[in-house]
Amino acid sequence: MTWVIWRNNRTVLLTTAAVAVAACVAMAVLAATGRLDDAVGLDGILMADASQVLAALTTLAPALAGAFVGAPLLAGDLERGTHVLLLSQGVSRRRWATTSLVLVGGATLVAVTAATAALAPFNGSGQWYSLEEFSSTGLLPMARTLSAIAVGALLGLLLRRVPAASALTLAAVVGTEVALAALRNVLVPPVLRTGPLPHGGSVDADRDQLLDSGYTLTGGGLRPLGTNCMQDDVACLNAAGIDGNWVSVRPLELRWPMHWTEVALHLLLAVAALALLHRRLRRPLGR
């Protein structure tokens, strides 16, 4: 069975490994020659620094792994009918799916995680809260890739067609990531700071991500910026019932709580997807 799974998935595995190695080598060469900030792309259509391209690739890598490795993992066998050969050799449906996930999904998980870690030194935006920096730090690349592959495998099993499963997986993973990030922000809410006029509510540009700001009202409550007064005209603001400023920020101290929360959400998603996958495998797959 292992040999058949390898034969069926060797192209995608070798391609994944080659892309990961090529990206690492290319970025190492660009960094060594001091050309990391050179523009690449199609002149007049889409141009970006090499480091920006790298950031985009590492951010999208888990979704691509889900769409082009996870989705075809079982859908490919079901579409070609090769699962019949495997299951006729005394192999159970769960063993077939588990072995495919462990061998192919596991190898892809290792490749994406290792490449993201190797490319991290070239991917620094200088801001811990930027999407590319946050999503490529710690265990998050591994957790994102795991959940994307699990979702892709589940959709592939349900749809049984590789193109449809890949397209839907890409859309589902992107949508799910947005939803999980929003849920993470609810579970780890930002910090509200207030201070007196004219510019109260401190923000450390090196440590804090500023989300929103406004005024505090004399009778209690908050309101957004935007009055007929200048921001440093204290008398005018006081006359309008405003006695201070507020800012909503994510300080550096929230980085790791946010990180672990999002890792946990992705792992829960992966467990849920794999549980549904194995539940579906209780029923016959047909031809």
Q: What are the pLDDT digits (tens) for 58-74?
A: 889 999 999 999 999 99
Element (H, E) at 143: helix 140-159
Both 90 and 140 in one domain: the answer is yes
Please check whether residue 231 lies inside any domain of the structure: yes
Three state DSSP letters for 203-252:
CCCCCCEEEEEEEEECCCCEEECCCCCCCCCHHHHHHCCEEEEEEEEECH
d(CA 142, CA 70) in angstroms, rounded, equals 14
Both 159 and 271 in one domain: the answer is yes
Q: How far is CA 113 from CA 27, 135, 258, in A?
A: 16, 11, 19
Q: What is the pLDDT of residue 48?
A: 66
Both 76 and 215 in one domain: the answer is no
Mean pLDDT computed over every residue of the chain: 86
E strands along 3-113, which residues? 39-42, 46-49
Q: Which residue has the higher pLDDT, 205 or 168?
A: 168
Both 201 and 147 in one domain: the answer is no
d(CA 68, CA 181) in angstroms, rounded, equals 23
Element (H, E) at 187: helix 162-187
Residue listed under structure tokens 């141009």: 47
> Would residue 190 be called left, alpha or beta, if left means φ above 0 and alpha means ψ between -120 and 50 degrees?
beta
pLDDT surpassing 80 at residue 173:
yes
Lowest mean pLDDT among 2-11, 36-45, 216-225: 36-45
Please check whether residue 242 is in contact with residue 217, taking contact to mean a CB–CB distance below 8 angstroms: yes
Residue 77 amino acid letter: D
Q: What is the pLDDT of residue 45?
A: 58
Please check whether residue 77 lies inside any domain of the structure: yes
* Average confidence (pLDDT) over 262-279: 95
Please check whether residue 25 lies inside any domain of the structure: yes
Q: In the chain, how many domains are there? A: 2
pLDDT surpassing 80 at residue 126:
no
Q: How far is CA 25 from CA 28, 49, 118, in A?
A: 5, 17, 10
31's tokens: 């960094």
Both 104 and 225 in one domain: the answer is no
Please check whether residue 287 lies inside any domain of the structure: no
285's tokens: 């797959």
Tell me how crowded residue 228 is: count the other CB atoms within 10 A of its CB: 8
Please check whether residue 12 lies inside any domain of the structure: yes
Beta bridge partners of 130: none
Please check whether residue 22 is in contact with residue 14, taking contact to mean a CB–CB distance below 8 angstroms: no
The half-sphere exposure of 83 on its side-chain side, counting CA atoms within 13 A, is 24
Both 42 and 171 in one domain: the answer is yes
Tens digits of residue pLDDT in 11-30: 888 888 898 888 888 878 87
Both 166 and 235 in one domain: the answer is no
Both 83 and 116 in one domain: the answer is yes
Both 169 and 233 in one domain: the answer is no
Both 120 and 181 in one domain: the answer is yes
Q: What is the pLDDT of residue 226?
A: 80
Residues 6+ apart with CB under 8 A from 231: 198, 199, 225, 237
Please check whether residue 118 is in contact with residue 46, taking contact to mean a CB–CB distance below 8 angstroms: no
Write out the residue range of the structural domain in which residue 208 sits: 191-252
Q: What is the value of pTM for the model shown?
A: 0.86
Tens digits of residue pLDDT in 271-285: 999 999 999 988 877
Both 146 and 247 in one domain: the answer is no
Both 26 and 158 in one domain: the answer is yes
